[in-house]
């Protein structure tokens, strides 16, 4: 598989420390061949810091490698969690920057 | 998700703290019943419940949080003055505290979800709280929503802005600590006006381990909670991560003002803590850093203020203001007065070792040759003094005040007297008398029986009391004090007193005494400790089944203690438990019979006399005009060999009765470490333990009570047979 048809990854269960490794692997694999990646978050049942990290990591990796990754269909669970970290809009493109002072 | 080991440990700490909080809650509720207007009590109560809920939330114990939240809401209403304290309220909330305790114990047993029966019990209890909640419907919030602001004593605190810099430990996710959960919880303490997520630590490409925590958060929080409370939120992650809480820049002025209004103090740290800008824990951390830096250098240590500023704990202007308040130029001195928790088994080990030391030291005293030269003699007496001091301080480590145990009866008395329709006030005196922790734990149940017994049988119903010209409200006094190497706990009631005639009649009916026997008051009262003895005409749920008092007697005897009863009809009864200060070491009197050695507890020995000449089967003698029965240890223990030519009699006193023990030789006083006998010998009832003597031989420790009591029995059998 090369260019155009985007990879679609749908998260249909929890995106937590239990599944983080699995989705991280799938996202990294999808990003590796250059095709755009679409992540559907409509079916996320639970999202914790580990899960959030995986999403943020994929977003940054895409940026670094010059690929595109889009997150769509953010459901209540996802939006609610993002709101807690004040990250609303970061995943679905209406983005604001994610930065912070780095600490040793 | 199974609980990781680290989390398990943190949970353990949570359970310990939750138990302490629950005790505070119970004490607070009962205090509230006595003095419904005590604002301080209400505040303390609210704080305890709030803290409990907060910690439970951190561990995701949702069932505990939900239940506790409702209790907190009720107490919040009381705190705001929207709800008055009534006995009904206390009665409704107390069982809730019990329920929370049950959940906490469930958590301790590894149960992180509510069991169906707990859910049902919880619902019933919450239904009982509902009438109080509807007092102000605007205040009733569903579980899980934003709770009331955390309490602080005195007038409401103004909102303060804080900058929180949160870097969680790399393993925090694996340990079940979810940083997002902390952010959510912060939202319940006040308003989180800004969060910046720091992703800098996320590694590139494959370097990421999805189970390691990389995210950091900068949080701007506006809350009226004091700094220590915010800090407590992170109690379980502070160790591994880097959690900093600093007053937002625009707050500096208000802190400087507050510091200027404080009195002078010798220590900058005190001033900073009092102003609220720095917490105790932060000071402790800064002190550690200060010590590390100054270690090994002769130059003066870094100032604590500099450390605080460098570590970004507090701003420079605040430290300068505090320094201005420091009294004179006194060098800052800090004392570490914190307590530490120690595993009880380590203490036991230490005490065991000290015990061995005592024995070894006693053995040097047994060799008079060593005491020959003056120098050696002096050195030895010095060692003796030191060992004695070490022994005392080692034992003191195990000593805890008995007050906590005694005060726990508030609740029992409240519940029991309510059940019985009696009014009883508890007065605790001497709660600061200290005794061995193991003893405190084991005396709880026997005391409980005595207290219940006094409530049930001793104190009369209000009408009867009024008829007898007493105050309707009875008094139960728990008193503890030290007395000559033992600790005495008294349960004193002002009830009807023991009915001598009824006890005698009952005992005769049960065949415990011969009809018409003449007994002293003490002996009659002692009968109530006989198995199966109960004079209560009606069996109540509290007592009256005839179990209890004999169990009390047995438990106390097992602890090498004794019980006495004083009673005056119509005036009241005093039950007096006398216990040794510690279980580990006793002062003993060493005697020899043939090849064997025995130790008699020294506090039972009254005197030693020579055995007068006479026939070998004689078992009594005259001592100052009175008959003294004696027991020949040689025949009791079937020790072979000829008796010594001059035998001695050790006179011992037990329950006011004197008995002699005939032995071959008297070897004097020794301090002995008691080694319990193995289970194989558990049926022996004249020997309470063994010990190793300085010369390596084993000596049995005689249990005087059963020895004397059993002798009468044996004699009767012998005469009858």
All domains in chain A, ordered by first residue: 7-97 (3.30.750.24)
Task: Give φ, ψ of B19 to 5 degrees.
Answer: -60, -40
Beta bridge partners of B699: B691
Q: What is the pLDDT of residue B583?
A: 64
Q: Please, which pLDDT band fits residue B615 given cuts at 50, 70 and 90?
A: confident
Beta bridge partners of B482: B487
pTM surpassing 0.95?
no
Q: N- to C-terminal Cα distance for chain B?
A: 72
Mean pLDDT, range B4-17, rounded to an integer: 69
Q: What is the pLDDT of residue A3?
A: 52
**Would you call B340 helix, strand, or coil by DSSP?**
coil
B220: buried, middle or exposed (CB in 10 Å: 19+, 13-18, 0-12)? middle
Is residue B643 within 8 A of residue B634, CB to CB? The reply is yes
> Which tens digits make up the pLDDT trace of B694-719?
777 888 988 887 788 777 777 777 66
> Which tens digits make up the pLDDT trace of B450-494?
888 888 888 888 888 889 888 888 899 999 988 766 789 999 999
- Of all residues in chain A, what percent carry a pLDDT higher than 90? 0
Beta bridge partners of B476: B426, B493
Among B75-79, B341-345, B353-357, the range with the most confident prediction by mean pLDDT is B75-79
CB-nearest to A84 from B180, B199, B213 is: B180
Domain B402-580 -> CATH class: alpha beta
Q: Please, which pLDDT band fits residue A99 given cuts at 50, 70 and 90?
A: very low
Gyration radius of chain B over CA positions: 33
Q: What's the whole-number average pLDDT of chain B? A: 78
Residue of A nearest to B1 (CA): A18
Gyration radius of chain A over CA positions: 13
Chain A nearest-CA distance from B477, in A, is 55
Q: Which of A10-24, B26-40, B95-109 has the lowest mean pLDDT?
A: B26-40
Q: What is the pLDDT of residue B381?
A: 77
pLDDT greater than 80 at residue B365:
no
Instruction: Spell out which residues of chain A touch residue B215, defining contact as CB-CB under 8 Å.
Output: 49, 52-53, 56
Q: What is the pLDDT of residue B492?
A: 92
The CA distance from B362 to B694, in Å, is 6
ipTM above 0.95, yes or no: no
Task: Give φ, ψ of B182 to 5 degrees.
Answer: -65, -40
Is residue B663 within 8 A of residue B633, CB to CB? The reply is yes
Q: In the CATH scheme, what is the homologous superfamily, with its name and number, of domain B160-325? A: ACT domain (3.30.70.260)
Which of B196, B210, B310 to mutate to test binding with chain A, by most A CBs within 10 Å of its CB?
B210
In CATH terms, the fold of domain B3-140 is 1.20.120
- Helices (H) and strands (E) counted in chain A, each on its own, are 3, 3
HSE on the CB side for A15, CA within 13 Å? 28
Which DSSP category does B604 fall into? G
pLDDT greater than 90 at residue B40:
no
And the tokens for B153?
């004593």
Q: Please, which pLDDT band fits residue B73 given cuts at 50, 70 and 90?
A: confident
Check residue B572 and give left, alpha or beta (phi > 0: left; psi -120 to 50: alpha).
left
Q: What is the pLDDT of residue B540?
A: 47
Instruction: Spell out which residues of chain A touch residue B206, defining contact as CB-CB under 8 Å.
Output: 28
Write out the residues of chain B at the interface with chain A, using a CB-CB cutoff of 8 A: 1, 165, 167, 173-174, 178-181, 183-184, 187, 192, 194-202, 204-206, 208, 210-211, 213-218, 242
pLDDT greater than 50 at residue B332:
no
Sequence length of chain B is 721
Q: What is the pLDDT of residue B441?
A: 80
Q: Please, which pLDDT band fits residue B660 given cuts at 50, 70 and 90?
A: very high
Instruction: Spell out which residues of chain B touch residue A53, defining contact as CB-CB under 8 Å.
Output: 202, 208, 210, 213-215
Beta bridge partners of B668: B590
Q: What is the pLDDT of residue B389?
A: 80
In CATH terms, the fold of domain B585-720 is SH3 type barrels. (2.30.30)
And the tokens for B666?
């008297």
pLDDT greater than 60 at residue B152:
no
Instruction: Spell out which residues of chain A touch residue B199, defining contact as CB-CB under 8 Å.
Output: 56-57, 60, 98-100
Q: What is the pLDDT of residue B294?
A: 65
Q: N- to C-terminal Cα distance for chain A?
A: 41
Among A26-35, B54-63, B575-584, B684-693, the range with the most confident prediction by mean pLDDT is A26-35
* B260 Cβ contact list (under 8 Å, min separation 6): B321, B324, B325
Show the CA angle centred on residue B87, arms to residues B81 and B93, nearest 5°. 75
And the tokens for B309?
């500023």
Which position has the higher pLDDT, B588 or A1? B588
Q: Please, which pLDDT band fits residue B155 given cuts at 50, 70 and 90?
A: very low
Q: Which of B268-277, B460-469, B652-661 has the lowest mean pLDDT?
A: B268-277
Mean pLDDT, range B389-403, rounded to an integer: 78
The CA distance from B404 to B412, in Å, is 14
Residue of B nearest to A104 (CA): B201
Mean pLDDT, range B596-610, rounded to an integer: 89
And the tokens for B179?
């940083």
Mean pLDDT, range B341-348, rounded to an integer: 74
Which residue reads 């005259």 in tokens? B622
Q: Does A97 lie at the interface with B, CB-CB under 8 angstroms?
A: no
Q: What is the pLDDT of residue B637?
A: 87
The CA distance from A11 to A45, in Å, is 9
CB-nearest to A101 from B187, B218, B242 is: B218
For B117-182, the DSSP string reads: HHHHHHHHHHHHHHHHHGGGGGG---TTSPPPPPP-SSSPPPPEEEEEEEE--TTTTTTT--HHHH
Instruction: Spell out which residues of chain B touch residue A14, defining contact as CB-CB under 8 Å.
Output: none
Pairing of strands B657-663, B620-623: unpaired
């Amino acid at each position: 598989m090369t260019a155009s048809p985007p990879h679609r990854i749908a998260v249909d269960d929890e995106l937590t420390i239990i599944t983080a490794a699995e989705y991280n692997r799938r996202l990294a694999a999808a990003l590796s061949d250059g095709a755009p990646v679409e992540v559907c978050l409509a079916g996320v049942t639970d999202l914790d810091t580990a899960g959030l990290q995986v999403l943020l990591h994929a977003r940054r990796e895409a940026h670094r490698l010059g690929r595109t990754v889009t997150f769509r269909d953010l459901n209540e669970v996802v939006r609610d969690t993002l709101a807690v970290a004040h990250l609303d809009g970061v995943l679905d493109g209406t983005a604001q920057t994610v930065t912070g002072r780095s600490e040793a | 998700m199974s609980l990781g080991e680290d989390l398990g440990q943190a949970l353990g700490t949570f359970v310990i703290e939750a138990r302490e909080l629950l005790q505070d809650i119970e004490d607070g509720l009962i205090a509230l019943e006595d003095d419904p207007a005590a604002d301080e009590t209400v505040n303390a109560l609210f704080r305890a419940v709030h803290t409990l809920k907060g910690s439970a939330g951190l561990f995701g114990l949702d069932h505990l949080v939900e239940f506790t939240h409702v209790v907190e809401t009720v107490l919040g209403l009381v705190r705001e003055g929207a709800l008055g304290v009534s006995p009904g309220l206390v009665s409704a909330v107390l069982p809730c505290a019990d329920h929370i305790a049950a959940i906490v114990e469930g958590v301790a047993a590894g149960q992180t979800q509510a069991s169906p029966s707990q859910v049902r019990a919880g619902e019933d209890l919450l239904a009982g709280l509902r009438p109080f909640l509807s007092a102000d419907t605007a205040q009733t919030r569903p579980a899980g929503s934003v709770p009331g602001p955390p309490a602080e004593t005195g007038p409401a605190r103004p909102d303060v802005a804080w900058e929180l810099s949160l870097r969680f430990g790399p393993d925090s996710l694996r340990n079940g600590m979810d940083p997002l959960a902390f952010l959510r919880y912060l939202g319940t303490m006040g308003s989180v006006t800004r969060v910046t997520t720091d992703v800098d630590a996320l590694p590139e490409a494959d370097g990421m381990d999805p189970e390691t925590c990389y995210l950091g958060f900068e949080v701007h929080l506006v809350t009226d909670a004091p700094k220590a409370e915010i800090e407590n939120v992170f109690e379980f992650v502070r160790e591994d991560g880097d959690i900093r809480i600093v007053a937002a820049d625009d707050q500096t002025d208000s802190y400087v003002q507050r510091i200027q209004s404080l009195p002078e103090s010798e220590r900058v740290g005190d001033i900073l803590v009092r102003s609220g800008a720095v917490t105790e824990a932060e000071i402790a951390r800064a002190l550690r850093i200060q010590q590390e830096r100054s270690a090994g250098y002769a130059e003066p240590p870094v100032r604590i203020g500099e450390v605080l500023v460098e570590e970004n704990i507090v701003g420079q202007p605040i430290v300068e203001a505090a320094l201005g308040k420091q009294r004179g130029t006194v060098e800052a001195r800090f004392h570490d007065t914190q307590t530490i928790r120690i595993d009880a088994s380590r203490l036991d080990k230490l005490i065991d070792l000290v015990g061995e030391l005592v024995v070894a030291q006693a053995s040097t005293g047994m060799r008079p040759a060593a005491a020959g030269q003056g120098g050696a003699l002096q050195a030895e007496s010095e060692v003796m003094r030191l060992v004695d001091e070490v022994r005392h301080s080692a034992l003191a480590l195990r000593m805890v005040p008995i007050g906590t145990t005694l005060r726990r009866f508030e609740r029992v008395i409240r519940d029991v007297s309510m059940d019985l329709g009696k009014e009883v006030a508890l007065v605790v005196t001497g709660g600061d008398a200290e005794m061995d922790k193991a003893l405190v734990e084991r005396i709880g149940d026997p005391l409980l029986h005595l207290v219940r017994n006094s409530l049930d049988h001793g104190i009369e119903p209000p009408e009867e009391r009024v008829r007898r010209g007493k105050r309707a409200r009875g008094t139960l006094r728990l008193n503890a004090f030290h007395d000559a190497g033992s600790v005495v706990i008294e349960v004193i009631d002002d009830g009807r007193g023991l009915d001598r005639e009824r006890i005698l009649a009952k005992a005769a009916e049960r065949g415990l005494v011969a009809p018409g026997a003449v007994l002293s008051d003490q002996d009659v009262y002692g009968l109530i400790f006989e198995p199966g003895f109960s004079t209560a005409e009606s069996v109540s749920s509290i007592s009256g089944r005839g179990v209890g008092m004999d169990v009390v007697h047995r438990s106390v005897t097992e602890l090498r203690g004794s019980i006495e009863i004083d009673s005056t009809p119509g005036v009241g009864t005093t039950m007096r438990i006398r216990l040794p200060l510690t279980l580990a070491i006793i002062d003993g009197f060493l005697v020899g019979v043939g090849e064997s050695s025995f130790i008699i507890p020294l506090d039972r020995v009254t005197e030693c006399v020579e055995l007068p000449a006479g026939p070998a089967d004689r078992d009594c003698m005259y001592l100052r005009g009175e008959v003294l029965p004696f027991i020949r240890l040689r025949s009791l223990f079937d020790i072979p060999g000829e008796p010594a030519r001059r035998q001695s009699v050790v006179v011992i006193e037990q329950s006011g009765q004197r008995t002699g023990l005939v032995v071959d030789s008297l070897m004097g006083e020794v301090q002995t470490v008691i080694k319990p006998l193995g289970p194989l010998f558990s049926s022996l009832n004249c020997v309470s333990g063994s010990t190793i003597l300085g010369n390596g031989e084993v000596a049995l420790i005689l249990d005087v009570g059963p020895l004397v009591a059993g002798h009468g029995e044996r004699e009767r059998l012998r005469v009858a047979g």
